[in-house]
């Protein structure tokens, strides 16, 4: 280790940090170690190294670079991601586990000398605003300058937080190696990709990959460690955006948190025009001393999906993607120094470079499938502070008070666009029974309906029953729990056409905001409260400036008793394999009996909301 690095390390006066660095230096055997503090010059140097090593390449707009992940490393790898469990311990059947001793031994072998010929970067970050009740310091060791650079855009620098630890081991740590690289700086050994989560030591190992969802420790790897901690105490670590909702012509901000599976509208909800964003991916929630729920964004940047970002649907992000600032594109097409992606709303070139190397229109992969010009899960990485619509409270160490929580899935045939839970416990039920169709954000087939509790299943590392029990208890700690809503932006008609336009989500969110303030009535249905037609008509007029027909309402908010009962049966089967808390069973039973009651009362499977008599003005 160079003298400078040694001094910076000694200044932390933390034996645990020193031991970890020593252990992985000895195992991985890098040629060089670079330790980065909060100094802006040191941080900027990492970006420079990513360019020098070829992991990123400069584009024509100042500050923009492009990075490529391997052709088979374009999404989160669920199969190779495992929780290491001590002998005799079991989690849920849906959580991928591996015996801890076996896993550590395998890693030891695979990581032996893995950084030979490479530079090891040691970085210090803080999850959440420094010094806040939410903050968790985190150390990243990686041999990828791209990973270290991405984290600089996505997280708060935390060398100072490590000072404050005064030698304690209350921090997370992550050890990443991209493994051998090819001549383009792309990880070569993705077949030996491993992402192993070691809850015992609050650490995650991830090797032979570069895609940020697999490699960036502070993102989904830290979320898993945080879920474990949250469930051992009394808070929540969730896959949630945070946003300020601003009703038209009213001087108030109402804070919402929302959980959606990957690539199901989480960022675009937080970016709805006229609203303010705090975060788009991961939040910590705590019961505050005044009995409200407070939340912070533990990140400070966006790793967003670039597909379909265009000047019409996402004007603010589009502007960031086309004007100078520090920003990394990944897995887009580049032609003549300019990036192109799917759905960007302009003509695209017929050739260039993309995640498959040199690309031309009509190029096929080894299986004979056409390679699109950019990957569907291509991304951009930038700081949230670049956004004009960043909420002024984004850095508040106390977080923001949360008035509403939304759970949304990609569901083509069951749930209406928005429904309000009857209360906290029914809200937990809505989250716990979320289903969603798979997307390109994870490797494997798209469009498969899967069980997606709280949009967090991929990251849950404790028994599911325990995780849900913690949610039920959380509400009990609050004087005024947030209202809970279920949304579905993806409902389709019998011909497979979407029943909504993308921008309609603004009306649903503003309806929910008004409900927080008791401003609209609602229609009671077996699955919760749905909006009244007249209120939506007003909202479409005042916020989207377009008409909203009774026919649209009738089709979107039709109560599909048959589908809802089928879903309940699937869910019940799922939970039969878990030790779910009794409250969940009660909620399932209550929902079923309400659905069956309606079927008996109305004698039909599908109900037109306009005909429903129970319109209740609250």
Give the interface with Mn ion as residue ranges (CB under 5 A): 262, 281
For 49-85, the DSSP string reads HHHHTTSSEE-SSTTEEEE---TT-SSB-STTEEEEE
Least Å distance, CB 219 to ligand SPV, is 5
Burial of 440 (0-12, 13-18, 19+ CB in 10 A): middle
441 binds ligand SPV (CB under 6 A): yes
Site string for ligand SPV, 303-342 (x = CB under 6 A): x---------------------------------------
Give the position of tokens 């230096």.
25
Note whether 372 binds ligand SPV by CB under 6 A: no
Round to whole Å and give the CA distance between 306 and 314: 10
CA torsion angle 267 269 275 276 (round to 10) = -30
303 binds, among ligand SPV, Mn ion, none (CB under 5 to 8 A by kind): ligand SPV
**Contact window for ligand SPV (CB under 6 A) among 211-219, 361-369, 420-428, 519-527:** 211-219
**Pick 297 or 525: Cβ nearer ligand SPV:** 297
Q: Does 262 bind ligand SPV (CB under 6 A)?
A: yes
Structure tokens at 245: 């909702």
Nearer to Mn ion, 42 or 281 (CB): 281
Label residue 605 left, alpha or beta by phi (over 0 means left) and psi (-120 to 50 means alpha).
Answer: alpha
Among 212, 461, 509, 580, binds ligand SPV (CB under 6 A): 212
Is 298 one of the binding residues for ligand SPV (CB under 6 A)?
A: no
From the list ligand SPV, Mn ion, none, partner contacted by residue 268 (C-beta under 5 to 8 A by kind): none
Instruction: Point out the residue whose Cβ comes nearest to ligand SPV.
Output: 213
* Matching residue, tokens 């420094």: 130
**What sections of 29-164 are H helices per DSSP?**
40-52, 100-111, 145-154, 159-164
- The sign one gets for the Cα dihedral 571, 473, 404, 596 is positive
Rama region for 422: left / alpha / beta (φ>0; ψ in -120 to 50; rest): alpha
Of the chain, the end-to-end C-alpha distance in Å amounts to: 67
Q: Which does 21 bind (CB under 5 to 8 A by kind): ligand SPV, Mn ion, none?
A: none
Based on CB atoms, which residue is closest to ligand SPV, 153 or 522? 153
Out of 28, 80, 126, 264, pick the active-site residue. 264
Q: Which two tokens stand for residue 345?
A: 């709303």
Question: Of 303 and 548, which has the nearer Cβ to ligand SPV?
Answer: 303
Q: What CA dihedral angle connects 277, 279, 284 and 289, to 10 degrees? A: -20
SS3 label, residue 386: helix
Q: Which does 123 bind (CB under 5 to 8 A by kind): Mn ion, ligand SPV, none?
A: none
320 in active site: no
| Closer by beta carbon to Mn ion, 35 or else 295 | 295
Q: How many residues bind ligand SPV (CB under 6 A)?
A: 9
Residues 66-105, one symbol each (x = binds ligand SPV by CB under 6 A, - = not), give ----------x-----------------------------
> Judged by CB under 6 A, which stretch of 16-24, 213-221, 311-319, 486-494 contacts ligand SPV?
213-221
For residue 309, which of 325, 320, 323, 324 has the smallest C-alpha distance?
A: 320
What's the rounded Cα separation, in Å, for the pair 348 and 341?
Answer: 8
Residues forming the active site: 264
Name the residues that contact ligand SPV, by CB under 6 A: 76, 212-213, 219-220, 262, 281, 303, 441
């Amino acid at each position: 280790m160079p003298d400078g690095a040694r001094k910076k390390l000694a200044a932390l006066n933390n034996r645990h940090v020193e031991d970890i660095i020593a252990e992985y230096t000895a195992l991985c055997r890098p040629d060089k170690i670079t330790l980065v503090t909060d100094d802006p010059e040191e941080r900027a140097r990492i970006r420079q190294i990513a360019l020098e090593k070829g992991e990123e390449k400069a584009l024509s707009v100042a500050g923009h670079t492009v990075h490529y992940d391997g052709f088979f490393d374009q999404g989160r790898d669920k199969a190779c991601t495992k929780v290491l469990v001590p002998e005799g311990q079991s989690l849920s059947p849906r959580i991928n586990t591996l015996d801890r001793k076996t896993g550590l031994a395998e890693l030891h072998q695979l990581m032996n000398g893995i950084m030979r010929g490479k530079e090891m970067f040691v970085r210090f970050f803080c999850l959440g605003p420094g010094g806040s009740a939410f903050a968790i310091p985190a150390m990243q060791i990686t041999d990828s300058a791209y990973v270290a650079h991405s984290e600089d855009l996505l997280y708060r620098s935390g060398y100072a937080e490590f000072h404050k630890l005064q030698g304690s081991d209350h921090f997370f740590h992550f050890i990443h190696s991209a493994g051998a690289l090819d001549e383009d700086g792309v990880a070569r050994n993705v077949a030996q990709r491993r992402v192993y989560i070691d809850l015992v030591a609050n650490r995650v190992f991830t090797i032979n990959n570069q895609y940020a969802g697999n490699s960036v420790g502070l993102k989904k790897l830290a979320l898993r460690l945080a879920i474990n901690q949250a469930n051992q105490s009394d808070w929540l670590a969730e896959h949630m955006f945070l946003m300020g909702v601003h009703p038209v012509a009213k001087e108030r901000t109402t804070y919402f948190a929302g959980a959606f599976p990957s690539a199901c509208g989480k960022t675009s909800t937080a970016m709805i025009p006229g609203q303010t964003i705090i975060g788009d991916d991961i939040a910590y929630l705590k019961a505050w001393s005044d009995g409200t729920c407070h939340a912070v964004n533990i990140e400070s940047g966006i790793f967003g999906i670039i597909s379909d970002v265009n000047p019409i649907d996402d004007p603010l992000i589009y502007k960031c993607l086309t004007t100078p600032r520090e920003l990394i594109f990944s897995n887009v097409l580049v032609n003549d120094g300019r990036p192109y992606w799917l759905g960007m709303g302009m003509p695209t070139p017929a050739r260039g470079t993309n995640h498959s190397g040199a690309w031309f229109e009509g190029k096929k992969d080894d299986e004979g499938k056409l390679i699109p010009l950019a990957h569907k899960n291509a991304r951009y990485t930038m700081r949230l502070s670049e956004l004009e619509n960043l909420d002024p409270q984004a850095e508040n160490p106390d977080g923001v008070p949360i008035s509403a929580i939304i759970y949304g899935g990609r569901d083509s045939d069951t749930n209406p666009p928005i429904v309000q839970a009857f209360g906290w416990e029914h809200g937990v039920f809505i989250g716990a029974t979320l289903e969603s169709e798979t997307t390109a954000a994870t490797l494997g087939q798209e469009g498969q309906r899967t069980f997606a509790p709280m949009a967090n299943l991929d990251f849950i590392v404790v028994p599911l029953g325990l995780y849900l029990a913690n949610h039920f208890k959380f509400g009990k700690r609050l004087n005024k729990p947030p209202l809970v809503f279920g949304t579905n932006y993806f409902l389709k008609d019998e011909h497979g056409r979407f029943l909504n336009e993308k921008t309609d989500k603004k009306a649903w969110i503003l309806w929910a905001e008004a409900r927080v303030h008791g401003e609209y009535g609602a229609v009671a249905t077996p699955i919760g409260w749905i909006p009244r037609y007249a209120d939506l008509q007003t909202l479409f007029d005042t916020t989207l400036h377009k008409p909203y027909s009774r026919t649209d309402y009738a089709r979107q908010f039709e109560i599909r008793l048959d589908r809802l009962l089928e879903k309940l049966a699937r869910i019940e089967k799922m939970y039969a394999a878990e030790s779910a808390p009794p409250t969940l069973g009660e909620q399932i039973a209550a929902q079923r009996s309400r659905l069956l009651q309606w079927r008996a009362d109305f004698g039909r499977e599908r109900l037109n909301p306009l005909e429903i008599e129970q319109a209740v003005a609250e």
